[in-house]
């Protein structure tokens, strides 16, 4: 599960909570995905033109009372982290991810897409959508962690009679082993240790789902294939909830805009 939205939420919230500076936050986001640009399309009214760099967009949004980033990881039939309206929900479901941006008197949705220009330039273009001004219904971190643990146990029981994840090829084990710490932590400074732990576990289980999907149904009866598919669907849902809950667990200033430091304003 390679997510574009998660780094923006994590490092954006770390910036808003004062744990990192603006430049550090933007650098951390773009190290993972390349240059990030924010577009504008009617009826979204934003104080910048289409295609502005992420840093400029964040400074301008801060002037509108930017106070929180929220992660959305929806799937068809499961609009996790979304608040509507229909246009935003549909775009985010198709992308399987998105970000809610809370401003002083409105909320925006940002949906990412790959920005490719020629053979070498790869970045992210964020399309903004109006969002209903309400907090999304997402689980708490403790609840999501417990649900993830229980789901893993239940899925393992189902898999015992269907196929054995432990019998995956050595190449699969190597790929899972690569998640063991060679990459930089997914969450940013300011998140509680529990959130870091939950994200690490959720990312590993997301890789299990991803690697399991290509062989789904191979050498099985129709009943076994259906049971396996349902088990993986449930695991995917629990993983998405854990990630959303973890990214929402940072303590942010109350929904009151503070004046940004001078070095974070445009020259």
Model confidence over 182-193: pLDDT tens digits? Answer: 455 679 999 999
What is the model's pLDDT at position 217? 53
pLDDT band at 16 (very low <50, low <70, confident <90, very high): very high
Spatial separation of the C-alpha atoms in residues 179 and 16, rounded to whole Å = 28
pTM of the model: 0.86
Strands 52-53 and 98-102: unpaired
Lookup result for tokens 């870091």: 196
Spatial separation of the C-alpha atoms in residues 172 and 214, rounded to whole Å = 12
What is the model's pLDDT at position 122? 84
SS3 content of the chain, % helix, strand, coil (to 5): 45, 15, 40
Residue 115 DSSP SS3: strand
Strands 36-38 and 68-72: unpaired
CA atoms within 13 A on the CB side of 52: 16
Listed ranges 14-18, 50-54, 260-264; the one with the highest mean pLDDT: 14-18
Q: Is the pLDDT of residue 63 over 70?
A: yes
Q: What is the dihedral of CA 52, 82, 41, 120, to 10 degrees?
A: 50
* Tally of helices (H runs) and strands (E runs) in the chain: 8, 6
Spatial separation of the C-alpha atoms in residues 77 and 191, rounded to whole Å = 30
Residue 265 DSSP SS3: coil
Residue 73 in tokens: 């990881």
pLDDT band at 208 (very low <50, low <70, confident <90, very high): confident
pLDDT band at 167 (very low <50, low <70, confident <90, very high): very low
Across the strands, what pairs with 111? Answer: 127
Q: What is the mean pLDDT of the chain?
A: 85
Listed ranges 25-34, 149-158, 182-191; the one with the highest mean pLDDT: 25-34
pLDDT band at 94 (very low <50, low <70, confident <90, very high): very high
């Amino acid at each position: 599960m390679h997510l574009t939205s998660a780094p923006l939420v994590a490092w954006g919230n770390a910036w808003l909570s004062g744990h990192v500076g603006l430049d550090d936050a933007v650098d951390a986001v773009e190290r993972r995905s390349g240059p990030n640009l924010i577009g504008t399309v009617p009826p979204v009214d934003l104080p910048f033109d289409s295609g502005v760099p992420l840093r400029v967009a964040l400074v301008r949004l801060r002037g509108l009372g930017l106070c929180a980033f929220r992660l959305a990881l929806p799937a068809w039939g499961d609009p996790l982290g979304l608040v509507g309206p229909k246009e935003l929900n549909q775009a985010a479901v198709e992308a399987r991810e998105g970000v809610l941006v809370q401003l002083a008197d409105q909320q925006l949705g940002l949906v990412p897409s790959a920005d490719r220009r020629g053979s070498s330039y790869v970045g992210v273009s964020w399309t903004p959508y109006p969002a209903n001004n309400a907090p999304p219904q997402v689980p708490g971190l403790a609840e999501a962690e417990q649900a993830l643990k229980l789901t893993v146990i239940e899925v393992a029981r189902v898999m015992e009679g269907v196929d054995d994840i432990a019998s995956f090829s050595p190449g699969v084990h190597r790929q899972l082993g690569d998640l063991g710490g060679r990459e930089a932590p997914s969450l940013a400074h300011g998140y509680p240790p529990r959130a870091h732990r939950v994200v690490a576990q959720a990312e590993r289980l997301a890789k299990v789902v991803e690697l399991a999907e290509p062989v789904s149904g191979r050498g099985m009866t129709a009943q076994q294939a259906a049971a396996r598919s349902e088990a993986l669907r449930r695991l995917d849902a629990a993983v998405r909830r854990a990630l959303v809950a973890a990214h929402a667990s940072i303590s942010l200033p109350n929904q009151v805009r503070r004046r940004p430091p001078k070095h974070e304003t445009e020259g």
